[in-house]
Structure 1
Amino acid sequence: MSVKEKTAVITGSNSGIGLGIAHSLARGGMNVVLNSFTDREEDYSLAADMAREHGVDVRYIKADLSNRDEARALIEQAGTCDVLVNNAGIQHVAAIDEFPTDKWNAIIAINLTSAFHTTAVALPMMRKAEWGRVINIASAHGLTASPYKSAYVAAKHGIVGLTKVVALETAQEPITANAICPGYVMTPIVEAQIPDTMEKYDMDRETVIRDVLLSRQPSKEFATTDQLGGTALFLCSEHAEQITGTTISVDGGWTAL
């Protein structure tokens, strides 16, 4: 089954992992719907530039995924959704007894609950088209844990569980659901952490990357957005038709420890 001319909706995709996946799917011939909560001229320009680069249809749809109605409206406005990539996510770090309730609620809403809402609207479209792929971007933290990340770890474990349920509910249909679990990926958000960490620990850039950011990643190398995009494209291919309800780790050996 060719992925050309199919439509992929990718949440949280105007930068970082989501944007990398969008480029890979567009490069593979898919039409793409980009999304974030902002409504800036550069968001729409990004979509136009990607369309010209890859020769496919690319649109940008604003939606605040912390809001149930906007999460569902994103898929409805897309009109069709052959591939749903639930990628949107935020992070906050604090001890449980100091973790702000509003931060907990926001992380669960965006990182987990939004995926329920988008999937609920997308599945009927996939059934009507008799083909579909649900790809949830979880994390190494969907399979293991770290201190001070209670909401993020809970949400990512939840995404893995939701993925399994979707896979079971669609197991006898031409629809699959899988979770990609990245370790640390070099994105603008991660890049922005490096100078502050260098100053805090009085370390050079290379030491911060190796001994702080990548301390739990045995390869001591970041995963790339291209690698994650290639993994997503593979999951859309005919070679992955019997891969469903599972996790694929792209973490440099993190979860092998």
Structure 2
Amino acid sequence: MEAARPLVGRRAVVTGSTSGIGLGIARALAGAGAEVVLNSFTDAEADHALAREMGAEFGVAASYRRADMARAEDCRALVAGGCDILVNNAGVQHVAPIDSFPPEAWDRIIAINLSSAFHTIAAALPGMRERGWGRVVNVASAHGLTASPYKSAYVAAKHGLVGLTKTAALETAGQGITANAICPGYVLTPLVEAQIPDQMAAHGMDRETVIREVMLARQPSRQFATVDQIGGTAVFLCSEAAAQVTGTTISVDGGWTAL
């Protein structure tokens, strides 16, 4: 039972976790036995119902807490109750050339994709140190290791998140705490799935061709990663097998950053 559910007794907070990658990670952690706190910026009954359903499905405690990850005080309050596992997944995107990139979009992307992780880590570390165990998993991106045009804020934030991960790892080395970053390429989430018909229309291609030749042009495998694969990577990083894996990145990008 312990081998099948290695995270029993651990409490995990996953930011931006009501859909997509965050939800996939939260489900994987719950499946491994962890208590899970879901998060988004809304506070609808559907949010709380999602947590209840997850808890019932996996037989774990699960709850939902609203927090606007653009606000430092919300970020710190989210983990005020303490956590053993912190997954910083919340993120937003905006695409534009640098010289016409809206300053307010830059500020929001940096706040949510980077500064939020600083605030949650700062709030979580004292409790992790007190317990002598902790896992920080930051969801960065292939864009934390390479760049693309028109994504200046996102690329800057994800590169910064990788650097923050390394610093957190050095500051906690030998304390039973690890800090690592997962760097996905294109992942088949509901948001990405919704973009496929528009891409098909824009390029006059069928589904498989537009995925292979347009959307995954930089991903050598020509296959999307899945949220289950990202979730499985997160569970590994939280396991005892990864107790000496810290301060590094794990790319789940079909070979993108090998080019």
| TM-score > 0.5 by shorter chain | yes
Once the two structures are superposed, residues 14-70 of structure 1 have per-residue CA deviations (whole angstroms, 9 ceiling, x without a partner) of 000000000000000000000000111110000000000000000000000001111
Give the deviation of 1:193 after TM superposition: 1.1
Q: Which residue of 1 aligns with 2:128?
A: 126
Give the letter aligned to residue 173 of structure 1: Q
CA RMSD of aligned residues (A): 0.9
Q: Which residue of 2 aligns with 1:107?
A: 109
Q: Which residue of 2 aligns with 1:163?
A: 165
Alpha-carbon distance in 1 for matches of 2:163, 2:86? 17
Could you state the TM-score of these two structures normalised by the residue count of structure 1? 0.98
Give the letter aligned to residue 89 of structure 2: N
Give the deviation of 1:80 after TM superposition: 2.1
Identity value in percent: 68
Residue 214 of structure 1, aligned match among 199, 213, 216? 216
Question: Which consecutive unaligned segments of at least 5 residues does structure 2 have?
Answer: none
Give the deviation of 1:198 after TM superposition: 1.4
Once the two structures are superposed, residues 93-148 of structure 1 have per-residue CA deviations (whole angstroms, 9 ceiling, x without a partner) of 11111111111110000000000000000001101111000000000000000001
Question: Which consecutive unaligned segments of at least 5 residues does structure 1 have?
Answer: none
Task: Spell out the pairing of 1:59-98 with structure 2 (5 A cutoff).
Answer: 59-76=63-80, 79-98=81-100
Q: Which residue of 2 aligns with 1:42?
A: 46
Alpha-carbon distance in 1 for matches of 2:174, 2:28? 28
Q: Which residue of 1 aligns with 2:31?
A: 27
Q: Which secondary structure state, in structure 1, belongs to the residue aligned with residue 79 of structure 2? A: helix
Q: Which residue of 2 aligns with 1:138?
A: 140
- Tell whether 2:206 aligns with 1:204: yes
Residue 57 of structure 1, aligned match among 49, 55, 61? 61
Residue 4 of structure 1, aligned match among 4, 8, 12? 8
Could you state the TM-score of these two structures normalised by the residue count of structure 2? 0.97
Alpha-carbon distance in 2 for matches of 1:55, 1:3? 13
Alpha-carbon distance in 1 for matches of 2:55, 2:184? 27
Give the letter aligned to residue 41 of structure 2: F
Q: Which residue of 2 aligns with 1:256?
A: 258
Alpha-carbon distance in 2 for matches of 1:146, 1:80? 37
Aligned residues: 255
Task: Spell out the pairing of 1:174-193 with structure 2 (5 A cutoff).
Answer: 174-193=176-195
Q: Which secondary structure state, in structure 2, belongs to the residue aligned with residue 244 of structure 1? A: coil
Q: Which secondary structure state, in structure 2, belongs to the residue aligned with residue 206 of structure 1? A: helix
Give the deviation of 1:212 after TM superposition: 1.0
Give the letter aligned to residue 208 of structure 2: E
Alpha-carbon distance in 2 for matches of 1:141, 1:63? 25
Give the deviation of 1:172 after TM superposition: 1.8
